[in-house]
């Protein structure tokens, strides 16, 4: 099943929102995904001056992403072992490879509406100035990411 352009943009925006809504990384310490998620929620709450309701909606977004992350990574070791095993064979088991990819896509397709709803609930709770600030933060983050990862 193909993901629509709007869905991909919303998912990407959500990932950027949780992964790097803060304008800078100073003060961010490496830790678990949960710790990084909490750090982002706190940083975004201060930067966007969120009220309690808005912050709870952002926490919901964080929790959805963490849950999907946990689901996607639950069988990571087995998936890696399967892929490495396939790469050691004289021919690639296309059926098995397609099955692995299809399972991941199915998870994304199943979970994306919930994530998009959480992002939408958070975004819709923001006022115009907060949405503008969020847009600037995400745009800045995307530009810095592109500069670091372009060759």
- Residue boundaries of the structural domains of the chain: 5-149
- Tell me how far apart the alpha carbons of residues 112 and 74 are, in angstroms, rounded to a whole number: 18
- Residues whose CB falls within 8 Å of the CB of residue 43, separated by 6 or more in sequence, listed in order: 21, 22, 28
Higher pLDDT pick, 121 / 2: 121
pLDDT, tens digit (0-9, with 9 covering 90-100), for 67-123: 988 888 888 888 899 999 999 999 999 999 999 899 888 988 999 999 999 999 999
Burial annotation 110-132 (CB, 10 A radius, 16+ → b, else e): ebbeebbebbeebbebbeeebee
């Amino acid at each position: 099943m193909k993901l629509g352009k709007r869905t991909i943009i919303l998912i990407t925006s959500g990932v950027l929102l949780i992964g790097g809504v803060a304008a800078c990384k100073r003060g961010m310490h490496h830790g678990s995904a949960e710790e990084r998620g909490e750090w982002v929620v706190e940083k975004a709450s201060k930067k966007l001056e969120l009220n309690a309701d808005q912050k709870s909606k952002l926490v919901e977004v964080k929790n959805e992403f963490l849950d999907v992350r946990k689901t996607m990574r639950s069988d990571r070791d087995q998936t890696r072992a399967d892929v490495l095993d396939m790469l050691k064979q004289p021919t690639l088991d296309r059926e098995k490879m397609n099955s692995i990819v299809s399972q991941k896509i199915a998870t994304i397709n199943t979970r994306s509406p919930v994530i998009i709803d959480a992002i939408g609930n958070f975004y819709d709770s923001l006022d115009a100035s907060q949405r503008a600030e969020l847009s600037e933060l995400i745009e800045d983050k995307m530009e810095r990411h592109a500069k670091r990862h372009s060759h």
